[in-house]
Amino acid sequence: MPILTRRHFLESAALVGAGSTLFPDLLGATAHAADEITLEHIRHAEVLAGLSFTDEERELMRSSLERARAGYEALRGVPLPNHVVPSLVFDPTIGGERAPEIAAPRPIAWQPAPHPTRPAREEDLAFASVADLAALLKSRAVTSIELTELCIKRLRRLDATLHHVVTLTEERALRQARAADAELDAGIWRGPLHGVPWGAKDLLSVAGYPTTWGAAPYRDQEIDQDADVVRRLDEAGAVLVAKLTLGALAMGDVWFGGKTRNPWNPDQGSSGSSAGPASAVASGCVPFAIGSETLGSIVSPSTRNGVTGHRPTFGRVSRAGAMTLSWSMDKLGPMCRSSEDCALVFACIHGASPADATSRSTAFAWPSERDVTDLRVGVVREAEYRNREADEAMLAVVERAGVRLRPVTLPDMDTGPMLQMLRAEASAAFDELVRSGRVSELVRQDAGAWPTTFRAARFIPAVEYINGARARTLLMAAMREVFSSVDVIVVPSFGAGQLATTNLTGHPSVTLPNAFRPVEDAANASYRSPDSITVIGDLYADERVLAVAAAMQAGTDFHRRRPPIR
């Protein structure tokens, strides 16, 4: 996810509010647990909280603060591993109408093309789409074993340059591929992912393999269960070939094994935190991967690596078995070559799970049941930014397809104070790591890295966390009003504050490549700098968002381009 700035923390801390829950952590800077809390300690804490009390008020608070600090010490003795969820559950529909629920996801109507032609070259097979591979596998023009061995070979070869693999799951993959081929030979077809290899961001647990979260303190961690999304892909017949890198604890592209690289320009990092999934898909090592996003971790690496990333509506994909960073913002989604591929993967992984109280089952059809020309498509335009010309060209593509665009604006609200919720939740999720001192083992130790953010988040008052949540409700209501007049919105990927806004409100997005610029002063003239455009949609309107993105890709070839490192 993008770096959380010091400015955002200071803005949050400066919000005015009172609450004794603030002081035990603030006082820790000036008083040890065994010390008596003095009026001077309270004065120091007031400075950090942006508050001011009289000595009489401080004296009255002292005994309450002593009791609160003792309660904190007792709470810290309760084992709270990362998978334990809070008793509060985020609901993105609180700003408007309820989610349209169904009993369980239904199969999609999509069918692979009949009588496909097998690519002549191995490289063409490596860069084939999920849709094309489904047709080849179903017709038996290729086998799952062939594809699996090809992916493993490429992952091994290119990892020396790209550093995008944490663990190859070769034994599991070959077992799955043999089973898939046996079923396909017998005429049993589970759907579009049957026999298709894939990669998992290494915050998803897979029984029998390490789940490292990209962080040195967890490099030997094994979680003896398959994450829900892994289990669902197993049921769809997909073949897991590798656990792919993520920036340590889901920030950036630096992990304990180095920096994951961008195959379009290996002098550059892959961005993050879904660094490995984006790099592996872009380089033709896997047809698709599962990434995660809290605040840009699918959008940013999809842009950097020139792949298509789908961040689903909050709650549409179960997060059970995935590392928690923020209970109210984490989302899992597919990273693929095209929006159609994203739709095929999403069709297999979405739906409610009893293991994730935030998950919901809502209808999803593919192909979309509504033609894109029937959709109300809004567009956010900004005056000047680097990718403006490419974005306008992509808008022209959908206009030529018969889509009528209408101007819209997103809510103009300061999301900085609301993002204190993310910082507080992340600090709680890794509280034991900080208190044990093992947070110092993370590679990054700068002012914008997790260790600093975790420590600083201890000074976020509980009152301000709650008020941030209340302000977030107003933001959700404002977004609900925007989507009363449109179905989807096309927006610059990093413009109009949409990244923070939509991650806070839980709205879905698809980010797709639309530019590949030469890299100035590059050692290799073939290196490129990809860019992207993003389509966002109303809650649970993932199908429509994917359909508009597919219309854009039907009229362009950006998603079919291949990087120089392949």
The residue from 422, 442, 469 where one domain ends is: 469
Identify whether 392 is part of a domain: yes
Q: Is residue 116 in a domain?
A: yes
Catalytic residue among 12, 273, 300, 368: 273
Q: Does residue 427 share a domain with residue 396?
A: no
- 492 with 529, same domain? yes
Does the residue 476 lie in any domain? no
pLDDT means over runs of 10, the chain (566 residues): 35 34 49 74 88 90 87 88 90 82 87 95 98 98 98 98 98 98 98 98 98 98 98 98 98 98 98 98 98 98 98 98 98 98 98 96 95 97 95 98 97 94 96 95 94 92 93 95 97 97 98 97 94 97 98 98 96
For residue 393, being part of any structural domain is answered with: yes
- C-alpha angle 390/392/398, rounded to 5°? 110
Assess whether 508 and 459 both reside in one domain. Answer: no
In a domain, 106, yes or no: no
Q: Are residues 253 and 377 in the same domain?
A: yes
Catalytic residue chosen out of the listed positions 201, 243, 259, 331: 201
Structural domain contains residue 83: no
User: Given this model, what pLDDT does residue 27 score?
Assistant: 53
Regarding whether 490 and 524 lie in a shared domain, the answer is yes
Q: Known catalytic residue: 273? A: yes
Counts of helices then strands in the chain (DSSP H, E): 19, 15
Question: Coil, strand or helix: which one is 244?
Answer: strand
CA-based nearest residue to 271, from 457, 434, 566, 499: 499
Residue 474 lies in a domain: no
Residues 401 and 440 in one domain: no
Q: Which helix (H) or strand (E) holds 300?
A: helix 299-305
Residue 140 falls inside a structural domain: yes
Q: How many domains does the chain have?
A: 2
Same domain, residue pair 398 and 426? no
Q: Residue 148 is part of a domain; what is its CATH number?
A: 3.90.1300.10
Question: Phi and psi (nearest 5°) for 513?
Answer: -70, 145
- Residue 68 pLDDT: 83
Residue 322 and residue 456 in one domain: no
Q: Say how far residue 170 (Cα) sits from the centre of its chain.
A: 25
Are 220 and 177 found together in one domain? Answer: yes
Q: For the chain, how big is the Rg over CA atoms in Å?
A: 24
- Say how far residue 157 (Cα) sits from the centre of its chain: 27
- The pTM of the full predicted model, rounded to 2 decimals, is 0.92
216 φ, ψ (degrees, to nearest 5): -55, -40
297 is catalytic: yes
Q: Which of 445, 469, 493 is the last residue of a domain?
A: 469
pLDDT of residue 265: 98
Neighbouring CB atoms inside 10 A of 420's CB total 25
Paired strand residues for 335: 289, 309
- At 142, phi and psi to the nearest 5? -135, 165
Instruction: Please check whether residue 92 is in contact with residue 506, taking contact to mean a CB–CB distance below 8 angstroms.
Output: yes
What integer pLDDT is reported at residue 300 of this predicted model? 98
Mark whether 460 and 526 lie in a shared domain: no
Helix axes 130-139, 144-162, angle to 10 degrees: 150
Same domain, 336 and 386: yes
Residue type, 559: H
Q: From 423, 443, 469, give the residue that closes a domain.
A: 469
- Please state, in angstroms and rounded to a whole number, the distance separating the CA atoms of residues 387 and 381: 11
Regarding whether 442 and 424 lie in a shared domain, the answer is: yes
Q: Which domain holds residue 50?
A: 6-78+414-469
Burial (CB count within 10 angstroms: exposed 0-12, middle 13-18, buried 19+), residue 188: exposed
Residue 129 is among the residues annotated as catalytic for this protein = no
